[in-house]
Amino acid sequence: MSKRTGITAHTIRFYEKSGLIKGKRLENVKSNNYFHYDEETVEKLNLIKGAKSIGFTISEISNLIDAWYNKKLSTKEKLSVCDEKLLSIENKIKELKQMQKLLNQLKKNIISSNC
């Protein structure tokens, strides 16, 4: 699974412990303690990977998976979730730009006073 998704085995186990995915033990395999995953789990892992890369938290991802896979959200509601995250990202960008501005001002103050 790790090779298929590019997600480490440790991270996959974390997602499983977090309830984001579920592996199954095969009844007919007694020689190892491996979990087996279906195609839906691969899809979920790819969704998790993508959502994490754009800033969704584990809690938000859990809600997304629940809503997406249990058909709780309409297309309009899914778009609303995306819009809310975009707004959150825009606000973070503004905060970071303000921090950058303050840090640049601090640098100028340091240079001008030879601190």
CA angle 94, 99, 103 (to 5 degrees): 150
Same domain membership, residue 89 and residue 45: no
The domain total for the chain is: 2
Residue 102 and residue 53 share a domain: no
**CA angle, 72 as apex, 57 and 74 as ends, to 5°?**
95
Q: What is the pLDDT of residues 48-61, one digit of tens each?
A: 999 999 888 999 89
pLDDT at residue 38 above 90?
no
Q: Which two tokens stand for residue 92?
A: 């973070």
How far apart are alpha carbons 69 and 71 in whole angstroms? 5
pLDDT at residue 94 greater than cutoff 90: yes
pLDDT of 66 > 70? The answer is yes
Whether 97 shows a pLDDT value over 90: the answer reads yes
- C-alpha to C-alpha distance for 70 and 97, rounded to whole angstroms: 39
Q: Is 21 left (phi over 0), alpha (psi -120 to 50) or beta?
A: beta
**82/113 same-domain check:** yes
Q: Quick one: pLDDT at residue 68?
A: 80
Which domain, by its residues, includes 35?
A: 1-72
Q: How far apart are CA 92 and CA 98, in angstroms?
A: 10
